[in-house]
Amino acid sequence: MKKKLLVYAGVVLGIGLIAFFLYTNNTSPTEEDNNTCYFELDENLTITHGKEFNITILSKEKIKTLELHVGDSLISKWANPSNKIQFPIATGYLGVGAVSIVLIAKDTKGKEIRDERVVQILSDIIPQQWSVKINAEFPHLDSNFTQGLAFSGNDFFESTGDPNKTGSTLVGEIDLETGKIKRRTTLDASYFGEGLTILDKQIFQITWTNQSCFVYNQSDFSKTKTYSYTGEGWGICNDGKSLIMSDGSERLTFRNPKTFEVQKTIEVYTNEGPITKLNELEYIDGYVYANIWTKNLIAVIDPQKGKVIAIIDATELATKGKGNGEVLNGIAYNSISKKTYMTGKFWPKLFEVEILKKVKAS
Ligand SMILES: [Ca+2]
C-alpha cells in the first residue's frame, strides 16, 4: 500500500515538474526585456483631447536611427539618439479615440526594433443632455423593420432590413401622412438591408453583412452602381460631400460618393470613452445624429473630431410609439421644412419632433 502511494506521489510530482518546465519555457520575456529600445509607458495611456503628453523612449544599446510615428504620421526622427529621449506629443490636431504611437529604431547592425502602443484620447466635452418634444405623429407601417430614413427635398424614403429572412428588404418612397409605400424596390432574402441616404438624386442603400452598397436613381429606382466594402454596414448619411457610414462600432467612415473610397475615419467618444453600436444616422446642421442600438438615445457628434456634444433621450417616443415593435431607429431631416422625424423598427408610429437643446434639470 505504502509503495503504491509512493508511486502515485512520484507520478504527481513528475507531472507537476513537467507542467512547471513547460510553463516557464512558454512564458515569453516581457516586451521591455526583448526590446532594446522602447517606450517607457503604461500599457494603456489615456489622455484628454487638447492636452499634451510626454513620452519617454529608452535605449539599452546604441541606436543609429529612431523614428516616432503617431497614427499614420511620422512626427519626429533622430540620428544617433541618446539613450533617453523625452518628447511632447500634442493631441489637439488629432481626433478623439484610439491612436497608435510607434517607434521604429535601427541599431548599429541595421536590425529594426519596434514598439507600438495605443493611446486613448478622450473628448474634452461632457455631452449635454438634450430631449425631444413631439410636434406631430403619423402612421408608420409596423411591417417595416426600419434601418434608414431620409429625405431628398420633400420626398421621403425608408429602407428596411429582413430579420425573418422573408425577402422584406426594401427601399421605398413613403407617403408621410399615411405611412404607405408609394413605390418600392426590393432585394431577395440573401440580403439584409440597412441604412440609406440620398445625394444628388442617387439613393445609396447599404447592407448588414453582404458588404454591398446599391445605388439607385431616385426617379425610377433603376440600379446604377454596386459598391463593395469590408466590414459591416449599419447606418449611412451624407454631409453633401461625403457619405458617412456606421458599422456597429464607435467608428464612422467617410467615403467619396463617386468612388466609395474611404476618405477618413473618426471614432466617436465622450469624455468617458467610446460610444459603440452607432446605428442609423442623419446629418443635421453640421452634426451627425446617430441612433445608439438598443437604447432610446441618440448621440450628436462633431464630425471633425468625433466628439459627442450631446446625448438626446428619446424614451418618450418609445413609450408612445413603439407598440409591439423593437428599438428606436430612424432619423430623417427635411432641410426645406427644417423638420426632424423619428421612428423605430416595426413601430406603428412616426413622429415629427423638436429637439430641445437645453440641459435637462436632473
Ligand atoms: Ca437617416
What is the chain's mean pLDDT, rounded? 92
Q: Is the pLDDT of residue 157 over 80?
A: yes
Q: How far does residue 194's CA lie from ligand 1's centre (Å)?
A: 11
Ligand 1 centroid–CA 32 distance in Å is: 48
Q: Which residue has the cell 444616422?
A: 281
Contacts of 343 (CB under 8 A, 6+ apart): 140, 146, 149, 317, 321, 328, 329, 330, 349, 350, 351
55 CA from centroid of ligand 1 (Å): 42
What is the distance in A from the centroid of ligand 1 to the CA of 23? 54
Ligand 1 center–CA 150 separation, angstroms: 5
Cα angle value 317/319/325 (rounded, 5°): 85
pLDDT tens profile 83-127: 999 999 999 999 999 999 999 999 999 999 999 999 999 999 999
Does an H or E element contain 74, and which?
A: strand 73-79
269-304 confidence digits (pLDDT tens): 999 999 999 999 999 999 999 999 999 999 999 999
Nearest CA-CA partner of 208 in 184, 180, 182, 189 = 189
Least Cα distance to 345 among 297, 294, 299 occurs for: 294
d(CA 176, ligand 1 centre) in Å: 15
Distance 236 CA to ligand 1 centre (A): 7
Domains and CATH numbers, the chain: 32-122 (2.60.40.10), 128-356 (2.120.10.30)
Pairwise pLDDT comparison (16 vs 334), residue with the higher score: 334
CA of 286 to the centre of ligand 1 (A): 14
Residue 177: Cβ within 10 Å count? 9
Comparison of pLDDT for 7 and 176, the residue scoring more: 176
| 332 alpha carbon – ligand 1 mean position (Å) | 5
The pLDDT of residue 42: 76
Asked if pLDDT for residue 7 goes beyond 90, the answer is no
How many angstroms is it from 352 CA to the middle of ligand 1? 14
Residue 325 dihedral angles phi and psi, to the nearest 5° = -80, -170
pLDDT band per the 50, 70, 90 thresholds, residue 44: confident
Centre of ligand 1 from the C-alpha of residue 272, in Å = 26
pLDDT at 41: 86
How many angstroms separate the alpha carbon of residue 282 from the centre of ligand 1? 4
Give percent above pLDDT 70 in the chain.
Answer: 90
pLDDT given at position 14? 54
* Confidence bin at 307 (pLDDT 50/70/90): very high
Q: Which residues are bridge partners to 328 per DSSP? A: 344
Residue 35: band (very low, low, confident or very high) from pLDDT cuts 50, 70, 90: confident
Q: What was the pLDDT predicted at 5? A: 52
Q: Tell me, in angstroms, the distance from the centre of ligand 1 to residue 329's CA.
A: 9
pLDDT of residue 1: 45
